[in-house]
């Protein structure tokens, strides 16, 4: 299982993020506080507190490749 912190600051960020992860076959969970939502769900993402970084957890054969594609959302 891979885990990173991401930031989705704008509506465009959320749209671009969902478009990138939609093609990924593995599970993507976004965790904010005590809430966990499907990372492929726009409505689920908008239910989170987007003012703070969100933890992304994923696993699958292409997890490393996915994380490279999501580098612009990664909190350093």
Statement: residue 31 has pLDDT above 90: yes
Please tell me the predicted confidence (pLDDT) of residue 11: 96
pLDDT in tens, 46-69: 999 999 999 999 988 889 999 999
Domain residue ranges of the chain, discontinuous segments joined by +: 2-73
Architecture of domain 2-73 in CATH? 2-Layer Sandwich (3.30)
Q: What is the DSSP string of 27-74?
A: EEEEEETTEEEETT-HHHHHTS-TTS-EEEEEESTTHHHHHHHTGGGB
pTM of the shown model: 0.91
């Amino acid at each position: 299982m891979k885990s990173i912190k991401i930031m989705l600051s704008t509506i465009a960020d959320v749209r671009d993020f969902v478009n990138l992860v939609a093609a990924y076959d593995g599970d993507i969970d976004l965790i904010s506080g005590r809430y966990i939502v499907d990372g492929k769900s726009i409505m689920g993402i908008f239910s989170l507190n987007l003012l703070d970084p969100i933890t992304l957890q994923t696993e699958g054969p292409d997890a490393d490749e996915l994380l490279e594609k999501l580098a612009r959302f990664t909190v350093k």
